[in-house]
Amino acid sequence: MAFEQQGSLATKSIELRQKLNALLEARDSNAAIQSEQIIFDRLTSSELTLLNADVIVTANEVNQRHGTGVLINKIFGSCANIFSIRAHNHYDAEHDFGDLSAVISVQELSRKNVFSNVLQAFAQCTPRQVICIPFDPDEILIAIAIKELFDVPLCMYIMDDNNIYAKGIPDPLMQEALTKSSLRLAISPELQQAYQHKYNLKFWLLPPVVTGELIHTDIGTVPKPRNPKTGIIVGNIWGQRWLDLLRQTVKGSGITIHWYCNAASKSRWLQFDPAELAQDGIFFRDPLPEPELAEKLKEYAFAVLPSGVFDSTETENNQAVAKLSLPTKVPFITATSNTPILVLGSRESAAARFVERFNLGIICDYHPNSFQQAIEQITGSEMQTLLRQNAQTIAPSFSDVGIPQWIFQSLQRGEPIDHRFEQFVSPLESTEY
């Protein structure tokens, strides 16, 4: 059987090389396969044979140090026959996802070379379908190459914008990838509407999901926090300006914040001294596995979520994150502990819209007086009960149970097999982009 598989793969490789030549012009000396630009991870083997693999293409490593990595692992981590391909290493090559995983560097390469390198990476693998979670042009080029070479369905799942507010992905490339996709998914209604409006193509909603067994669904039980003057932050803060504003807001307020994060101390985008942060009332806590973090959240009266202000200090990338992306931590907090959420920043952020849409918390600006008033309001007994009951009501809708199958079957069908998320979070009636 192994010999037959190898023979079949060899025959397929010859056919694909012929197809490559048909798809592209005759290759010149600069179009040679760049084998040094394909690196298989140490934990996997380039000799491993995968037939009909589900290919997941990402910008960088899948790990617990960023929300995209957490969500990808949550959705696909238990799936078999996954070939994980990424375009970059941004987290010290910390990657533990997929039966087979590799870095394919295509930066500054011609499309000929991109196709050639992708073809070589599949010497021992045949794909069934490809799901691209893009942030840079490179992973889009890789996904298009896989789709074209193997004639398999392509799904584009947009979790973070790098095309509308941020401009990292050129419009023609995004247009090509979206047009060639059988299924287009967006992580928030705001992102869904923005891309539909710009490209005139249908997008479907797939918000961040939560491990089913962690979801708190006991409607009759409302946790009693230990200290109403102590809040919690979960996960990354996606902007230096947001952190600076948070520190100014909390300092001297009499409020204490515990910050649980896997990556903040090793962040590429934040600079701070933990000791000075503590002087402002914000204390680091050791990161916790999700089951423990879900239980820890129940001890707090409120969770704080710093977000965008959309003024002249806001970078394009931070505007893109704040306006269009729904942070994975928001459904996690809502579904696992029902803890009320205090969003700091503009009401126009995706997180603020979500919290207001379902009455899960309060939004206030970065000002000490506003912050203190919001804390008094959100920690009131009646408000706590109301917000937590609202969270309990919608919590089951975020379950990850069956989501990989939902994606795979929807991709093969070319549309969602059911509209569970469209009904749950309907698109906003009016939003300007």
Question: Where exactly does CATH 3.40.50.11930 map onto the chain?
Answer: 2-205
Instruction: Give CA angle at 147 (142, 150), nearest 5°.
Output: 115
pLDDT digits (tens, 9 = 90+) for 83-93: 999 988 888 87
The CA distance from 226 to 212, in Å, is: 26
The predicted structure's pLDDT at residue 21:
53
Q: E strand or H helix at 56, and its extent? A: strand 50-58
The CA distance from 38 to 85, in Å, is: 10
The CA distance from 305 to 257, in Å, is: 11
Structural tokens at position 76 = 């696909």
CATH number of 2-205: 3.40.50.11930
The predicted structure's pLDDT at residue 286:
86
Answer yes or no: are the C-beta atoms of 166 and 406 closer than 8 Å. Answer: no
C-alpha of 95 from chain center: 15
pLDDT digits (tens, 9 = 90+) for 332-368: 999 999 999 999 999 999 999 999 999 999 999 999 9
pTM of the predicted structure, to 2 decimals? 0.86
DSSP code of 154?
E
DSSP code of 182?
S
Question: Where exactly does CATH 3.40.50.2000 map onto the chain?
Answer: 212-397
> Among candidates 276, 326, 287, which has minimal Cα distance to 305?
326
Three-state SS for 152?
coil
What is the fold of 212-397? Rossmann fold (3.40.50)
Q: Given the structure tokens 């502990």, which residue do they identify?
A: 337
> Among candidates 266, 71, 312, which has minimal Cα distance to 188?
71
The CA distance from 377 to 392, in Å, is: 20
Residue 115 identity (one-letter amino acid): F
The predicted structure's pLDDT at residue 33:
45
For residue 209, pLDDT beyond 50:
yes
pLDDT digits (tens, 9 = 90+) for 377-401: 999 999 999 999 999 999 999 999 9
